[in-house]
């Protein structure tokens, strides 16, 4: 059976990407990273529940403590405020420097070890926060570098099935694939009730509104 390493944050987009991989007949190798993010424990819990829903054959839950030494992002450095006043042009303070590049490098090592043909990543370029490491041009460059830097017989494809979709389209696709959205978590700030006002919450709520589907997770702003 063909295998795919699926990078799962615990959020909506990566979960939908994982269910796409499952629907395409891949054996799932679930991969998650803990990097001192504000909602690390909540995301980790979501990851294990999602991996179980995907019937993952292998699970890698990897700690990357060096991210806290680098800092430079409101997702990790609590002295920086997570923006809550709406999505604005430019790269936001919640961008984690080269995060997807580092994640993909580790995913490639696991894919080579496990003889996996693909890496699935739930990045979105056209309807997102504007992170530079979510661009299709970057993903294609990383794929080329990975295949240059692995064994001759290793051929890895990075699949980004959501990259050109709108958030509403992602929600509709997830509903069609029976994605357990209630197990996912997207909020940048809080772990009990989603704040509803950070960029990630705003994009998620936008998607559910566009899809005409009620988001099953709780939000403090609606209480």
Q: Does position 1 have pLDDT exceeding 90, yes or no?
A: no
Mean pLDDT of the region 113-140: 95
Q: Which domain holds residue 209?
A: 3-222
Model confidence over 101-119: pLDDT tens digits? 999 999 999 999 999 999 9
Distance CA(22)–CA(4), nearest Å, equals 9
Over residues 18-29, the mean pLDDT reads 98
Distance of CA 198 to the CA centre of its chain: 16
Each residue's pLDDT tens digit, 45-102: 999 999 999 999 999 999 999 999 999 999 999 999 999 999 999 999 999 999 999 9
Mean pLDDT over each residue of the chain, to the nearest integer: 97
140 pLDDT more than 70? yes
Average of per-residue pLDDT across 27-38: 98
φ/ψ of 14, rounded to 5, equals -65, -30
Q: What is the CATH number of the domain that holds 218?
A: 3.40.50.620
Read off the pLDDT of each residue in 2-25 and give the average, rounded to a whole number.
98
Overall average pLDDT of the 150-178 stretch: 98
Half-sphere exposure in the Cβ direction for 132 (13 Å, CA): 9
The region, left, alpha or beta by phi > 0 then psi within -120 to 50, assigned to residue 144 is alpha
Domain count, the chain: 1
Binned at pLDDT 50, 70 and 90, residue 175 comes out as very high
Q: Give the predicted TM-score (pTM) of the model.
A: 0.97
| Residue 109: other Cβ atoms inside 10 A | 14
Can you tell me the mean pLDDT for 133-138? 97
């Amino acid at each position: 059976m063909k295998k795919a390493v699926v990078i799962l944050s615990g959020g909506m987009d990566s979960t939908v990407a994982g269910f796409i991989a499952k629907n395409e007949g891949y054996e799932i190798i679930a991969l998650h990273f803990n990097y001192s993010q504000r909602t690390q424990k909540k995301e980790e819990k979501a990851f294990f529940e999602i991996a179980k829903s995907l019937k993952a054959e292998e699970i890698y839950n990897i700690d990357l403590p060096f991210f806290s030494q680098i800092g430079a992002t409101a997702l990790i450095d609590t002295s920086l405020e997570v923006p809550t006043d709406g999505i604005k042009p430019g790269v936001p303070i919640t961008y984690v420097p080269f995060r997807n590049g580092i994640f993909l490098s580790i995913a490639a090592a696991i894919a080579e070890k496990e003889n996996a043909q693909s890496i699935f990543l739930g990045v979105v370029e056209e309807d997102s926060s504007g992170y530079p490491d979510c661009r299709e041009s970057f993903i294609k460059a990383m794929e080329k570098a990975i295949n240059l830097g692995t064994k001759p017989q290793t051929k890895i494809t990075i699949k980004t099935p959501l990259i050109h979709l709108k958030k509403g389209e992602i929600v509709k696709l997830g509903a069609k694939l029976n994605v357990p959205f209630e197990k996912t978590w997207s909020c940048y700030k809080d772990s009990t009730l989603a704040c509803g006002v950070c960029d990630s919450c705003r994009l998620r709520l936008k998607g559910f509104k566009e899809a005409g589907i009620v988001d099953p997770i709780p939000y403090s702003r609606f209480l």
